[in-house]
Amino acid sequence: MLKKPFLSEKSMNLIKSNFYTFVVGKNTTKQQVAKLVSSKFAVDVLEVRTINLPAKTKTQRTRKGFFSTKGIKKALVKIKKGQKIPLFETAEAEKQVEVKTTEGEPVATIKEKKSLLVEKRSLLRGTKVRIEASGKSSTLSAQTEGNQESSEAKVKSQKAKKEKGDK
């Protein structure tokens, strides 16, 4: 009996070598796992490996006493090359984005997932940057330290004028 897919960093890396990881019932055999996976996902199963993880007794810092986790049985299923199980498909691949100053000097290369623009003000400390992703370019203008001080002074003076007008 297949209970659920087992998703972890290691299991996601195993997908590259056609191994898919499932949590199965304690009494499920390798032959049963192979039949279930091939019938549910319409793939050809080449090999099944099983791992019994024992229950563990743990403590929690905020409370006194112990609690125990359940033991599980994992099944690593190897399928034919070129076939995929849709449950384990990942999101879009990361894109490389190059960050340049307004003079055209490269500052850093950032890995970006979905959005086209990424702001890195703390990293760049208020310099003007151009971020280019897949042919599209735009300019992010972060205030320099001098501009920040002058804008703060303007805000303070406007507040002072409002307070005088209210009295």
pLDDT band at residue 86 under the 50/70/90 scheme: confident
Residues 6+ apart with CB under 8 A from 93: none
Predicted TM-score (pTM) of this structure: 0.53
* 124 pLDDT more than 80: no
Task: Determine which of 5-19, 79-93, 117-131 has the lowest per-residue pLDDT on average.
Answer: 117-131
CATH class of 2-88: alpha beta
Task: Determine which of 44-58, 125-139, 149-163 has the lowest per-residue pLDDT on average.
Answer: 125-139
* 52 pLDDT more than 80: yes
Centroid of chain to Cα 53: 26
Q: Residue ranges of the domains in the chain?
A: 2-88, 91-167
- How far apart CA 163 and CA 158 sit, in angstroms, is 9
- How far apart CA 155 and CA 162 sit, in angstroms, is 11
- Note the residue count of the chain: 167
